[in-house]
Amino acid sequence: MKKKTLATKIGAALMSAVLAVSMAACGNDGASQGDSSQEDTSLDGSQSESGNQDSGESSGDSGENGGDASADASGSEDAGDGEASGDGENQAGGAVVLHEPKDLGGHWNAPEKYLTNEEPWYRGFYTEATNIDLGAIMRGEDEEGYGLLLRDIDAIAEQIAILQEADVPILFRPLHEASGGWFWWGAAGPESYIELWKLVFQRMTEYHKLNNIIWVWNGQDGDWYPGDEYVDIIGEDIYPGKQVYLSQSGKFSQAVEYADSPKPIALTENGCLFDPELAFRDQAPWLWFCTWSGEFVVKNNLPLLSEEYTEEAMVRKVYEDERVITLDELPDWKQY
Protein backbone atom coordinates (compact mmCIF):
# COMPACT_ATOMS: atom_id res chain seq x y z
CA MET A 1 0.00 0.00 0.00
CA LYS A 2 1.34 3.39 -0.94
CA LYS A 3 1.68 5.90 1.86
CA LYS A 4 -0.04 8.77 0.10
CA THR A 5 -3.83 8.90 0.09
CA LEU A 6 -5.81 7.99 -2.99
CA ALA A 7 -7.08 11.55 -3.23
CA THR A 8 -3.52 12.84 -3.33
CA LYS A 9 -2.53 10.29 -5.96
CA ILE A 10 -5.47 10.94 -8.25
CA GLY A 11 -5.17 14.68 -7.76
CA ALA A 12 -1.58 14.53 -8.92
CA ALA A 13 -2.49 12.36 -11.86
CA LEU A 14 -5.26 14.69 -12.96
CA MET A 15 -2.74 17.54 -13.13
CA SER A 16 -0.48 15.58 -15.41
CA ALA A 17 0.02 16.18 -19.07
CA VAL A 18 -1.77 14.25 -21.70
CA LEU A 19 0.85 11.99 -23.20
CA ALA A 20 -0.69 12.19 -26.57
CA VAL A 21 -1.50 15.42 -28.21
CA SER A 22 -3.49 16.07 -31.31
CA MET A 23 -2.35 18.16 -34.19
CA ALA A 24 -4.60 21.12 -34.72
CA ALA A 25 -4.63 23.31 -37.78
CA CYS A 26 -5.18 27.03 -37.23
CA GLY A 27 -7.71 29.55 -38.43
CA ASN A 28 -11.01 28.57 -40.05
CA ASP A 29 -9.57 25.19 -40.90
CA GLY A 30 -8.35 24.70 -37.36
CA ALA A 31 -8.86 21.69 -35.19
CA SER A 32 -11.96 21.56 -33.14
CA GLN A 33 -13.01 19.80 -30.02
CA GLY A 34 -16.01 17.66 -30.79
CA ASP A 35 -18.68 16.13 -28.62
CA SER A 36 -17.80 13.71 -25.86
CA SER A 37 -19.79 10.60 -26.76
CA GLN A 38 -18.24 7.17 -27.15
CA GLU A 39 -19.48 3.67 -27.71
CA ASP A 40 -19.51 1.38 -24.70
CA THR A 41 -17.76 -1.54 -26.32
CA SER A 42 -15.37 -0.13 -28.86
CA LEU A 43 -13.92 3.03 -30.24
CA ASP A 44 -15.67 4.29 -33.31
CA GLY A 45 -15.69 7.55 -35.17
CA SER A 46 -18.52 8.98 -33.09
CA GLN A 47 -16.39 9.84 -30.11
CA SER A 48 -14.84 13.18 -29.43
CA GLU A 49 -11.47 13.60 -27.94
CA SER A 50 -11.39 16.63 -25.83
CA GLY A 51 -11.51 17.03 -22.13
CA ASN A 52 -9.63 16.16 -19.00
CA GLN A 53 -8.62 12.59 -18.55
CA ASP A 54 -7.55 10.50 -15.66
CA SER A 55 -4.40 8.60 -16.23
CA GLY A 56 -1.34 6.96 -14.92
CA GLU A 57 1.80 5.30 -16.06
CA SER A 58 2.62 1.69 -15.45
CA SER A 59 6.24 0.83 -15.05
CA GLY A 60 7.69 -2.12 -16.90
CA ASP A 61 10.15 -3.30 -19.50
CA SER A 62 8.67 -1.08 -22.16
CA GLY A 63 8.70 2.01 -20.00
CA GLU A 64 12.18 3.15 -20.78
CA ASN A 65 11.03 6.32 -22.50
CA GLY A 66 8.76 7.18 -19.61
CA GLY A 67 6.55 10.19 -19.39
CA ASP A 68 4.38 11.39 -16.58
CA ALA A 69 1.21 9.82 -15.30
CA SER A 70 -1.15 11.30 -17.74
CA ALA A 71 -4.20 11.22 -19.82
CA ASP A 72 -4.83 11.50 -23.47
CA ALA A 73 -6.47 14.65 -24.58
CA SER A 74 -8.70 13.89 -27.27
CA GLY A 75 -8.49 16.53 -29.63
CA SER A 76 -7.59 14.65 -32.44
CA GLU A 77 -6.39 11.42 -32.39
CA ASP A 78 -4.02 10.83 -34.93
CA ALA A 79 -3.02 13.84 -36.35
CA GLY A 80 -2.12 15.10 -33.73
CA ASP A 81 -2.05 14.87 -30.19
CA GLY A 82 0.63 17.15 -29.06
CA GLU A 83 1.54 17.66 -25.51
CA ALA A 84 4.15 19.67 -23.79
CA SER A 85 6.00 18.66 -20.70
CA GLY A 86 8.68 20.34 -18.66
CA ASP A 87 9.72 21.12 -15.14
CA GLY A 88 10.87 24.40 -13.67
CA GLU A 89 10.52 27.78 -15.31
CA ASN A 90 11.08 27.67 -19.03
CA GLN A 91 10.60 30.90 -20.90
CA ALA A 92 10.56 31.77 -24.57
CA GLY A 93 10.43 35.47 -25.21
CA GLY A 94 8.82 35.93 -21.83
CA ALA A 95 5.70 34.16 -23.10
CA VAL A 96 6.05 30.54 -22.02
CA VAL A 97 6.30 29.58 -18.37
CA LEU A 98 5.87 25.91 -17.56
CA HIS A 99 6.11 24.58 -14.03
CA GLU A 100 4.74 21.10 -14.71
CA PRO A 101 3.62 19.00 -17.67
CA LYS A 102 0.82 20.51 -19.71
CA ASP A 103 -1.53 19.05 -22.29
CA LEU A 104 -2.73 20.46 -25.59
CA GLY A 105 -5.20 18.74 -27.86
CA GLY A 106 -7.28 19.20 -30.96
CA HIS A 107 -8.44 17.45 -34.13
CA TRP A 108 -7.02 18.31 -37.53
CA ASN A 109 -9.95 19.57 -39.55
CA ALA A 110 -9.71 19.05 -43.27
CA PRO A 111 -9.05 22.34 -45.09
CA GLU A 112 -12.21 24.41 -45.41
CA LYS A 113 -12.67 23.81 -49.14
CA TYR A 114 -13.18 20.10 -48.43
CA LEU A 115 -15.91 20.48 -45.80
CA THR A 116 -19.30 19.35 -47.09
CA ASN A 117 -21.47 21.63 -44.92
CA GLU A 118 -23.61 18.58 -44.16
CA GLU A 119 -22.06 18.50 -40.70
CA PRO A 120 -21.10 21.37 -38.34
CA TRP A 121 -17.66 22.77 -39.20
CA TYR A 122 -16.22 21.52 -35.93
CA ARG A 123 -16.75 17.93 -37.07
CA GLY A 124 -14.53 18.55 -40.06
CA PHE A 125 -12.02 15.89 -39.01
CA TYR A 126 -14.55 13.10 -39.58
CA THR A 127 -14.61 11.37 -42.96
CA GLU A 128 -18.38 11.80 -43.22
CA ALA A 129 -18.03 15.58 -42.95
CA THR A 130 -15.50 16.01 -45.78
CA ASN A 131 -14.93 15.23 -49.44
CA ILE A 132 -11.16 15.37 -49.26
CA ASP A 133 -9.32 12.76 -51.34
CA LEU A 134 -6.02 12.18 -49.58
CA GLY A 135 -4.99 9.65 -52.18
CA ALA A 136 -5.27 12.22 -54.96
CA ILE A 137 -3.36 14.76 -52.90
CA MET A 138 -0.50 12.41 -52.14
CA ARG A 139 -0.35 11.24 -55.78
CA GLY A 140 0.14 14.84 -56.91
CA GLU A 141 -3.29 15.13 -58.52
CA ASP A 142 -4.47 17.92 -56.21
CA GLU A 143 -1.65 20.43 -55.86
CA GLU A 144 -3.82 22.97 -54.06
CA GLY A 145 -4.78 20.38 -51.47
CA TYR A 146 -1.13 19.47 -50.94
CA GLY A 147 -0.33 23.13 -50.34
CA LEU A 148 -3.17 23.44 -47.84
CA LEU A 149 -1.90 20.45 -45.88
CA LEU A 150 1.60 21.94 -45.82
CA ARG A 151 0.11 25.21 -44.58
CA ASP A 152 -1.55 23.40 -41.67
CA ILE A 153 1.58 21.40 -40.83
CA ASP A 154 3.62 24.59 -40.85
CA ALA A 155 1.10 26.29 -38.56
CA ILE A 156 1.45 23.65 -35.85
CA ALA A 157 5.22 23.47 -36.37
CA GLU A 158 5.46 27.15 -35.53
CA GLN A 159 3.81 26.47 -32.17
CA ILE A 160 6.03 23.48 -31.43
CA ALA A 161 9.04 25.64 -32.25
CA ILE A 162 8.08 27.95 -29.37
CA LEU A 163 8.27 24.97 -27.04
CA GLN A 164 11.57 23.88 -28.53
CA GLU A 165 13.01 27.32 -27.85
CA ALA A 166 11.88 26.91 -24.24
CA ASP A 167 13.55 23.46 -24.00
CA VAL A 168 10.18 21.73 -23.67
CA PRO A 169 9.84 18.24 -25.19
CA ILE A 170 6.46 16.99 -26.38
CA LEU A 171 4.85 13.64 -27.02
CA PHE A 172 3.16 14.17 -30.37
CA ARG A 173 0.42 11.78 -31.49
CA PRO A 174 -0.85 12.87 -34.88
CA LEU A 175 -3.13 11.05 -37.32
CA HIS A 176 -4.47 8.61 -34.78
CA GLU A 177 -6.77 5.63 -35.32
CA ALA A 178 -6.28 5.88 -39.06
CA SER A 179 -7.15 2.28 -39.84
CA GLY A 180 -10.69 2.79 -38.55
CA GLY A 181 -11.45 5.06 -41.49
CA TRP A 182 -13.63 7.45 -39.50
CA PHE A 183 -11.11 10.29 -39.76
CA TRP A 184 -10.23 11.82 -43.12
CA TRP A 185 -6.56 10.93 -42.86
CA GLY A 186 -7.47 7.25 -42.85
CA ALA A 187 -10.27 7.27 -45.40
CA ALA A 188 -8.08 6.65 -48.47
CA GLY A 189 -6.24 3.60 -47.15
CA PRO A 190 -2.83 2.85 -45.68
CA GLU A 191 -0.60 3.93 -48.59
CA SER A 192 -1.67 7.57 -48.66
CA TYR A 193 -1.83 7.67 -44.86
CA ILE A 194 1.76 6.48 -44.53
CA GLU A 195 2.85 9.09 -47.08
CA LEU A 196 1.07 11.78 -45.06
CA TRP A 197 2.69 10.60 -41.81
CA LYS A 198 6.12 10.77 -43.42
CA LEU A 199 5.32 14.21 -44.84
CA VAL A 200 4.40 15.52 -41.38
CA PHE A 201 7.52 13.92 -39.90
CA GLN A 202 9.92 15.22 -42.55
CA ARG A 203 8.37 18.67 -42.73
CA MET A 204 8.75 19.14 -38.99
CA THR A 205 12.15 17.53 -38.47
CA GLU A 206 13.95 18.44 -41.71
CA TYR A 207 12.30 21.65 -42.89
CA HIS A 208 11.46 23.20 -39.51
CA LYS A 209 14.41 21.55 -37.71
CA LEU A 210 12.30 20.49 -34.72
CA ASN A 211 14.08 18.08 -32.40
CA ASN A 212 11.87 18.23 -29.30
CA ILE A 213 9.23 15.79 -30.57
CA ILE A 214 8.69 12.23 -29.34
CA TRP A 215 6.61 10.60 -32.09
CA VAL A 216 3.66 8.51 -30.88
CA TRP A 217 2.06 6.41 -33.63
CA ASN A 218 -1.50 5.17 -33.07
CA GLY A 219 -2.66 3.75 -36.40
CA GLN A 220 -4.10 0.60 -34.80
CA ASP A 221 -3.02 -1.81 -37.57
CA GLY A 222 0.36 -3.07 -38.71
CA ASP A 223 -0.43 -2.40 -42.39
CA TRP A 224 -0.54 1.30 -41.52
CA TYR A 225 2.80 1.40 -39.72
CA PRO A 226 5.14 3.98 -41.34
CA GLY A 227 8.40 2.38 -40.22
CA ASP A 228 10.64 2.34 -37.17
CA GLU A 229 12.59 5.42 -38.22
CA TYR A 230 9.40 7.51 -38.05
CA VAL A 231 8.06 6.25 -34.70
CA ASP A 232 9.29 6.42 -31.09
CA ILE A 233 6.29 4.98 -29.21
CA ILE A 234 3.38 2.82 -30.37
CA GLY A 235 -0.06 3.47 -28.91
CA GLU A 236 -3.28 1.47 -28.77
CA ASP A 237 -6.77 2.84 -28.03
CA ILE A 238 -9.02 0.30 -26.31
CA TYR A 239 -12.59 0.65 -25.06
CA PRO A 240 -13.54 -2.87 -23.95
CA GLY A 241 -16.85 -2.01 -22.27
CA LYS A 242 -17.97 -1.38 -18.72
CA GLN A 243 -15.96 -2.72 -15.79
CA VAL A 244 -13.81 -4.95 -17.97
CA TYR A 245 -10.50 -5.00 -16.12
CA LEU A 246 -8.56 -7.38 -18.35
CA SER A 247 -4.95 -6.58 -19.21
CA GLN A 248 -5.63 -6.32 -22.96
CA SER A 249 -2.47 -8.34 -23.46
CA GLY A 250 -3.60 -9.47 -26.90
CA LYS A 251 -3.53 -5.91 -28.20
CA PHE A 252 -0.24 -5.30 -26.42
CA SER A 253 1.39 -8.31 -28.08
CA GLN A 254 -0.04 -7.31 -31.44
CA ALA A 255 1.43 -3.83 -31.12
CA VAL A 256 4.85 -5.25 -30.27
CA GLU A 257 4.85 -7.01 -33.66
CA TYR A 258 4.32 -3.82 -35.67
CA ALA A 259 7.93 -2.73 -35.33
CA ASP A 260 11.18 -4.41 -36.32
CA SER A 261 13.04 -2.91 -33.36
CA PRO A 262 11.75 -2.69 -29.75
CA LYS A 263 9.31 0.16 -29.15
CA PRO A 264 7.55 1.14 -25.91
CA ILE A 265 3.82 0.39 -26.06
CA ALA A 266 1.29 2.78 -24.50
CA LEU A 267 -2.45 2.57 -23.89
CA THR A 268 -3.07 5.96 -25.48
CA GLU A 269 -6.82 5.86 -24.79
CA ASN A 270 -8.92 3.62 -22.62
CA GLY A 271 -12.42 3.49 -21.23
CA CYS A 272 -12.27 1.48 -18.01
CA LEU A 273 -9.02 0.96 -16.15
CA PHE A 274 -7.18 -2.34 -16.37
CA ASP A 275 -6.07 -4.39 -13.40
CA PRO A 276 -2.29 -3.88 -13.03
CA GLU A 277 -1.97 -7.28 -11.39
CA LEU A 278 -3.31 -8.89 -14.56
CA ALA A 279 -1.17 -6.66 -16.78
CA PHE A 280 2.06 -7.80 -15.17
CA ARG A 281 0.88 -11.39 -14.97
CA ASP A 282 0.16 -11.31 -18.71
CA GLN A 283 3.38 -9.45 -19.55
CA ALA A 284 1.58 -6.37 -20.82
CA PRO A 285 3.38 -3.49 -19.04
CA TRP A 286 1.69 -0.54 -20.75
CA LEU A 287 3.97 2.51 -20.76
CA TRP A 288 1.05 4.70 -19.71
CA PHE A 289 -2.72 4.65 -19.77
CA CYS A 290 -5.06 7.47 -20.62
CA THR A 291 -8.64 7.22 -19.45
CA TRP A 292 -11.14 9.16 -21.49
CA SER A 293 -13.17 11.97 -19.98
CA GLY A 294 -16.85 12.36 -19.13
CA GLU A 295 -18.68 9.33 -17.82
CA PHE A 296 -15.46 7.32 -17.89
CA VAL A 297 -14.22 9.39 -14.95
CA VAL A 298 -16.86 11.68 -13.45
CA LYS A 299 -20.56 11.46 -12.72
CA ASN A 300 -22.94 13.89 -14.43
CA ASN A 301 -20.05 16.28 -15.10
CA LEU A 302 -19.64 16.80 -11.36
CA PRO A 303 -16.44 16.28 -9.34
CA LEU A 304 -17.73 12.87 -8.28
CA LEU A 305 -16.24 9.56 -9.28
CA SER A 306 -18.37 7.69 -11.80
CA GLU A 307 -18.36 3.94 -11.32
CA GLU A 308 -20.12 3.26 -14.60
CA TYR A 309 -16.92 2.03 -16.24
CA THR A 310 -14.50 1.58 -13.34
CA GLU A 311 -15.65 0.81 -9.80
CA GLU A 312 -14.12 2.70 -6.90
CA ALA A 313 -12.42 -0.42 -5.59
CA MET A 314 -10.56 -0.86 -8.88
CA VAL A 315 -9.63 2.83 -9.03
CA ARG A 316 -8.07 2.42 -5.58
CA LYS A 317 -6.33 -0.77 -6.59
CA VAL A 318 -4.80 0.85 -9.67
CA TYR A 319 -3.58 4.06 -8.05
CA GLU A 320 -2.29 2.37 -4.91
CA ASP A 321 -0.37 -0.32 -6.79
CA GLU A 322 3.38 0.11 -6.29
CA ARG A 323 3.97 -0.54 -10.00
CA VAL A 324 1.72 2.31 -11.16
CA ILE A 325 3.65 5.58 -11.26
CA THR A 326 1.80 8.86 -10.81
CA LEU A 327 3.04 12.36 -11.52
CA ASP A 328 4.09 13.11 -7.96
CA GLU A 329 6.43 10.11 -7.99
CA LEU A 330 8.43 11.11 -11.03
CA PRO A 331 11.93 12.53 -10.58
CA ASP A 332 12.91 16.08 -11.43
CA TRP A 333 13.95 15.44 -15.03
CA LYS A 334 16.04 18.60 -15.04
CA GLN A 335 18.24 17.11 -12.32
CA TYR A 336 17.85 13.40 -13.08
Residue 56 sits at φ, ψ, to 5 deg, of -155, 175
- Using pLDDT thresholds of 50, 70 and 90, give the confidence band for residue 327: confident
Amino acid 328: pLDDT:
87
- Using pLDDT thresholds of 50, 70 and 90, give the confidence band for residue 335: confident
- Per the annotation, the verdict on 269 as an active-site residue is yes
> Which of 220, 214, 216, 215 lies closest to 190 in space, CA to CA?
220
Q: How far, in Å, CA of 87 to CA of 335, rounded?
A: 10
Q: Which residues contact 184 (CB under 8 A, 6 or more apart)?
A: 110, 114, 125, 126, 127, 130, 132, 134
Annotated catalytic residue within 49, 57, 236, 269: 269
Residue 139 in contact with residue 56, Cβ under 8 Å?
Answer: no
The domain ranges of the chain are 6-329
Task: Report helix, strand or coil for 86.
Answer: coil
Question: pLDDT > 70: what percent of the chain?
Answer: 69
**Entry pTM:** 0.74
Mean pLDDT over each residue of the chain, to the nearest integer: 77
Q: Which of 100-104, 119-123, 167-171, 233-237 has the lowest mean pLDDT?
A: 100-104
Amino acid 70: pLDDT:
31
- Using pLDDT thresholds of 50, 70 and 90, give the confidence band for residue 65: very low
Q: How far, in Å, CA of 147 to CA of 127, rounded?
A: 20
Architecture of domain 6-329: Alpha-Beta Barrel (3.20)
Amino acid 41: pLDDT:
30
Annotated catalytic residue within 57, 177, 236, 295: 177
> Which of 45, 105, 101, 103 lies closest to 81 in space, CA to CA?
105
> Can you state the angle between helices 6-14 and 312-320, rounded to 10 degrees?
80
Amino acid 59: pLDDT:
39
Amino acid 57: pLDDT:
53
- Residue 32 or 162, more confident: 162
Strand partners, 233: 216
Identify which of 102-106, 217-221, 292-296, 297-301 has the greatest average pLDDT. 217-221
Q: What is the DSSP letter of 293?
A: S
- Using pLDDT thresholds of 50, 70 and 90, give the confidence band for residue 101: low
User: How does DSSP assign 21-46, residue by residue?
Assistant: BB----GGG----------SSS--TT
Task: Report helix, strand or coil for 235.
Answer: strand
